[in-house]
Amino acid sequence: MRIWYHTMAIHDNNQVLAVKKLEVGDAKAKLEFENEVLLISQIHHRNLLRLLGWSTEGSNLLLVLEYMPNGSLDSFLWGSKRRSLNWKQRFDIILGIARGLAHLHNECHVKIIHRDIKSSNILLDDHFQPKIADFGLAKFQPEDQTHVVTTFAGTLGYAAPEYAVNGHLSDKVDTYSLGVVMLEIISCRRCTDANFDGPSTDYLIEQSWKLYENNEHIRLVDETLDVKQYEEHVMKIIEIALLCTQSPASNRPSMSEVVLMLQDGQSFRERQLTRPTYIDHNRRIHIGSSKALIPINNHSQKPKRLELNNNYKLRKSMPY
């Protein structure tokens, strides 16, 4: 059992710090804590939350971190500060998260997979620049392996299907999660909410795909945003988000490619999009088309819904 408590502290030099305290009931939780310390003490990037100090003496397990005055991203999407971000701020947040992940995947001495990218794990500084936080589930990916097989640990709704179902973990798992977060930032809607347009019960990814198929994906945008002058840009970002959620994982771009597409307007038209496969919070899997490619603007049949058992194993094989 592990319970996190967050508090604020004032250093002798009047610097405001964030303190993260862990209550543990077993050795595994302490190991996760030490894993987080080991990881974030070795990485430094403007879009990754900085570790300032730690303590593992006795039963007190503490992390001392940068204090982020604007809190977590989710509070600006559906919390107390809901819908207060303009389009430029939202785009800068998306780009910052992508840059942080690209650093973890490609610029550290070893490839680091975060495993739990979601809106509540993105913190915002004074200037609304994002910092990726909570590395307790992070894992290394050896350079000579395309993926590792491990027990699922993360958040359903944000988790890539091949990882949640079969434990196949690669850097493309973070790419998938970023795509989901991008759709949340654009729509101000939780990925697991099953209501969007009238009587529809589609989840966010499914609704985004349907709108894209009909060339109506601008309708996904948070209605409080005035994006008339940015409409083409917004639609492109939605398409990049859908590209990040493709299955199999090999169809997703690397995070370096995502940064280029976001930053330089690099075209991805040579990559045709397919209906995404995803898992909802009730552990049901929604399978996209089994075809390798779906021509843009062609309608495909509604994805099948299969039940997962408690071990996240499918009762039927998946068309990855």
Give me the active site residues, please. 116
Strand partners for 157? none
| Cβ 85 vs Cβ 92: under 8 Å | no
Q: Give the whole-angstrom CA distance, residue 13 versus residue 288.
A: 55
Look up tokens 């990855």; give the residue: 320
Picking from 249, 307, 247, 252, the residue whose alpha carbon sits closest to that of residue 278 is: 247
Alpha helices in the chain (DSSP H): 27-40, 74-77, 87-102, 161-166, 171-187, 204-213, 231-244, 255-264
Burial class (CB in 10 A: 0-12, 13-18, 19+), 114: buried
Q: Write the CB contacts of 122 (distance below 8 Å, at least 6 apart in sequence).
A: 72, 73, 74, 93, 97, 130, 131, 132, 133, 181
* Coil/strand/helix, residue 183: helix
Asked if 48 and 38 touch (Cβ cutoff 8 Å), the reply is no
Alpha carbons 221 and 234: distance in angstroms, whole number = 8
